Every structure is written in structure tokens, then in C-alpha cells.
């Protein structure tokens, strides 16, 4: 049985670690911790990974070290090195078009203007990955979305961020254990 690959999208470096754009990385790091591990540097893929066994399945939790708009290279390196098919590749990312606190599970689809997804589609030659779309909401007023995603969550959002990340991790586990359709029925209802 092929492994699962779960990649959290974000930007490298401490200046980005608490930004909205890094919510995918936050979720993957929290899931590694939930499973009793942490992401560590992997010299073969040049990513940070946690090679886990969960519910009898091999699951590679990962984040790239490149910037968001270059996410395709790390995802390709990981899927090639661990021989993971696209239908077992889960991408966890921020989503402007979903209100903060909500999330959606999706398989395939367009990139919706998300540079990380665009890069992955280009490098893999397909957009058929499974996606955990973590809602960060639209920027207020006329704020540029590019600036908004690179800012930290507001103080009121930070109060609810841990619960949102926990739900994203629950959705990842549901996808792996029960499949995309069950995860969609469970997590896309709000």
C-alpha cells in the first residue's frame, strides 16, 4: 500500500511563522506533535518531514523550505522520493474565499489564484491532489490580499486559531482513514 503525503504550505523563516499564509504549515506541525513527533530536516528531499505510522498506514508529514510560490518543487521531490501517487497527496493551505474558522476538503480543482497551488499544478502536471482549504477570510476594506496573507492573525482570530488547526488535523486524519467523500460530508457542512 502506498504511503500518504501531507504537505503544509507556507513560507520559510521566523518572520512568516505566524502569518495567515503559513496556516498549512501550522496544521502539519501540530499533527506531527499530536502523533508524538516533529518535523526534521531530510537531506534527500531538502524538506522538513515526519515519517509516521498512523492507524497502520505510513504517512509523511512535510513542509518545504521554499517560498509559497515555489511549492511545486518540494511537493514533487517528496512524492518522487516516497513514491506517493497524486491521489494520496494532501495539500493543506490557506484560503481567502472561506471565512476564518471554516475549512473545506476538496479533491482537484483550479488554483483559485493561490500561487502555491499554481506551482504544484505546474510541476506535477495535475491539480488532482486532495486539499484541506483552511479559511482565513477576505482582507478588510481595500487591503491588498497579498499583504493580508503575510500578516499575523488578528488578536481575536488568534484566540480561535488552535481550534481551527485542530479541526484541520481532524480533517486530514478523516481523509486518510475514511476517504475524501466522508471528510467532505463531515467538514464541509459549516
Q: How far apart are CA 163 and CA 166, in angstroms?
A: 5
Of the candidates 74, 58, 76, the one whose C-alpha atom is nearest the C-alpha of residue 66 is 74
Contacts of 109 (CB under 8 A, 6+ apart): 127, 131
Cβ within 8 Å of residue 110, ≥6 positions away: 127
Residue 67, C-alpha cell as written in the block:
517560498
Say how many Å lie between the first and final Cα of the chain, rounded: 33
Which member of 21, 81, 93, 114 is catalytic? 21
Annotation marks residue 81 as catalytic: no
Q: How many Å apart are CA 120 and CA 139, to the nearest integer?
A: 25
Residues with catalytic annotation?
Answer: 21
Amino acid at each position: 500500500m502506498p504511503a500518504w503525503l501531507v504537505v503544509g504550505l507556507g513560507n520559510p523563516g521566523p518572520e512568516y511563522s505566524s502569518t495567515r499564509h503559513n496556516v498549512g504549515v501550522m496544521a502539519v506541525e501540530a499533527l506531527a506533535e499530536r502523533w508524538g513527533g516533529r518535523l526534521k530536516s531530510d537531506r534527500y528531499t531538502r524538506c522538513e518531514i515526519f515519517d509516521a505510522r498512523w492507524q497502520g498506514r505510513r504517512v509523511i508529514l512535510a513542509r518545504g523550505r521554499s517560498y509559497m510560490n515555489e511549492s511545486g518543487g518540494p511537493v514533487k521531490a517528496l512524492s518522487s522520493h516516497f513514491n506517493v501517487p497524486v491521489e494520496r497527496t494532501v495539500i493543506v493551505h490557506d484560503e481567502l474565499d472561506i471565512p476564518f474558522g471554516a475549512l473545506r476538503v476538496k479533491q482537484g480543482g483550479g488554483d483559485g489564484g493561490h500561487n502555491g497551488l499554481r506551482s504544484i499544478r505546474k510541476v506535477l502536471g495535475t491539480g488532482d491532489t486532495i486539499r484541506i482549504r483552511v479559511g482565513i477570510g477576505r482582507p478588510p476594506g481595500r487591503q491588498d490580499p497579498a499583504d493580508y496573507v503575510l500578516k499575523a492573525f488578528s488578536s481575536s482570530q488568534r484566540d480561535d486559531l488552535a481550534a481551527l488547526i485542530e479541526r484541520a488535523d481532524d480533517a486530514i486524519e478523516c481523509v486518510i482513514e475514511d476517504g475524501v467523500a466522508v471528510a467532505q460530508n463531515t467538514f464541509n457542512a459549516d
